[in-house]
Structures are given as structure tokens and as C-alpha cells.
Amino acid sequence: MTITHDDLARRLRAAYTDGVIAPMRDGLDPVDIVGAYAVQTINTRFWEAQGRRIVGRKAGLTAKAVQEQLGVDQPDFGVLFDDMRVADGGVLDAAKCIQPKAEAEIAFVLSADLPSPDTTPEDVAAAVATVHAAIEIVDSRIADWKIAFADTVADNGSSAFFVLAEQGLPLAGLDLEGAAMEMTFDGEVVSTGIGAAALGNPLNAAAWLARTLAARGEPLKAGDVLLAGALGPMVSLQPGNVVRTKVAGIGECSFTYGNA
């Protein structure tokens, strides 16, 4: 029996309530970019039809080391829905996650559309309203995070939730490339990094995303939230963890993962 993209999309949706699934080798080659995004798009349209609203996008695999690990030479992206946002200082219900990890990022909120498939980092900079410290809570519907590139793309970029610092800053004068990041769990440092980890500069990651989405006919719009990729290693969450990220010169944000 031939496994279709629709079959894989249904399998992933079911995993949100029924638990993890095996890597999707029976229907998706590990580096099948076109097929993986086709599965992602099927579920995006399904969720939109259920009333979920797209509020932005996330860039993933922006570190060269992670690309090499998964055998690809490009980042990936996923969709951010309105119900994925956790308030700065808020609580994320552990029951909504499967095998979550947290990673610190820099995020942009756009003040203008980015419709060109030739968008440059300078074009992105001109379209940024505010810059925020951010935390992405990634999760995988694939058992034990045994993901290939196609698995994570099909699974909406292994996305789950995100936190933005309530206060953002204008871009002018900020050192995105050199911004040092520190993420703590319960006051203990668990991850460090720097803005340059995101394709050399978060604006590079944002421009890649803008070009890719414009070429697909789904351009970034004014008001969109854009997560530009991890600045350091992701760390597994345990119920009760108080997670805080500080990005030097940009800001900080936090959330609590479930109950102790």
C-alpha cells in the first residue's frame, strides 16, 4: 500500500493526542524537501480550517552543525499559530507537550510586508518594528527525537510554543551578531550562545525565510512574528522548571513549565 502525504499528515496530527510515532521512513525519504513541506502544508491548512490563526513563522536548523547532522545544506521553517504563544512570565501546561526542549532565540516583529523572493538582510532590517529576546519550546511528535530533515519539516519544524519578551526594542543600534545569550533553568545556566549562531546574523536567517516564503507565494506580512533560530543548544524541560533567557543588549523573557 502506498503511503500518501495525507496519510502522513493524519499520522502527525494524531500524535498530538495519542503520543509519539516512528520516523516516517515508509512514506518520506529523509531528505525529501518537497514532500516534507507538502505534509506540513496539509496540516497547516487543516488547522487553519479549525480556526487557528497564523501569526508568523519560525526558522530552524540555522546552525551549520545541526544542518550537517541531518544531512542538509539549508535551514527549515514552521508555522507559528496564535495559540502557540505563551505570555512572558506565564505558565506552559506540561500536559500540552510530549518531549519538549527549550532554546533561546532572537525574534522580530515586522512593520511591513516582505513580498520579494530576492529579500536581503537589509530589506528585513527596514521592515523590523521591534526586536525581542525569545524562547522557543520545540517538541517532536517523532519518538525519541530520532528525526531526519524530512521528519522535522513535516512536523511543522518540530515546533510547539514560543515566548517573546513583552518589551521589544527598535533595531537601530543593536548588535544582533555579537549579542551574548544566557538561558537558565531554575537559576542555573543551561545554555549559552551568541547572535551569530543564526546563520551568522539573525537578519540572515530572517532574509532566507522571507525569500523562501515569497517564492512559495506565502510572503511574510506586517505584524508577523519571526523566530530567527537558536542561539545555543536546546535543553530538555522537566515539570516545574522556571526558564529565563537573557540576550545582552536586547532583553529577557521567561516562563514556567507546568507545576513542580
State the pLDDT confidence band at 64, using cuts at 50, 70 and 90: confident
What average pLDDT does this structure show over 221-247?
A: 96
What average pLDDT does this structure show over 223-227?
A: 98
What is this structure's pTM? 0.95
- Which one has a higher pLDDT value, 83 or 71? 83
Question: Hey, which bits of 27-172 come out as E strands?
Answer: 54-60, 76-81, 85-86, 90-92, 101-110, 128-138, 159-164
What average pLDDT does this structure show over 66-93?
A: 89
Q: Is the pLDDT score of 227 beyond 60?
A: yes
CA end-to-end span of the chain: 46
Q: Is the pLDDT score of 156 beyond 70?
A: yes
What average pLDDT does this structure show over 196-218?
A: 95
| Residue 143 to residues 10, 84, 136, 154, 258, Cα–Cα distance (Å) | 16, 21, 20, 14, 21
State the pLDDT confidence band at 252, using cuts at 50, 70 and 90: very high
Q: Is the pLDDT score of 170 beyond 90?
A: yes
Could you tell me which residues are beta bridge partners of residue 90? 255
For residue 182, give the C-alpha cell: 544566557
Backbone angles phi, psi at 61, to 5 degrees: 55, 40
C-alpha 17, offset from chain centre: 21
C-alpha 131, offset from chain centre: 16
How many whole angstroms separate alpha carbon 44 and alpha carbon 57? 12
Mean pLDDT across the chain, nearest whole number?
Answer: 95
pLDDT of residue 65: 67
In the three-class reduction of DSSP (H, G, I as helix; E, B as strand; rest coil), residue 40 is classed as helix
- Amino acid identity for residue 154 in this structure: A
Structural domain boundaries in the chain: 5-257
How many whole angstroms separate alpha carbon 118 and alpha carbon 245? 33
C-alpha 162, offset from chain centre: 8
Tens digits of per-residue pLDDT, 93-129? 999 999 999 999 999 999 999 999 999 999 999 999 9
State the pLDDT confidence band at 4, using cuts at 50, 70 and 90: very high
Q: Are strands 76-81 and 54-60 parallel, antiparallel or unpaired?
A: antiparallel
Q: Which CATH class is domain 5-257?
A: alpha beta
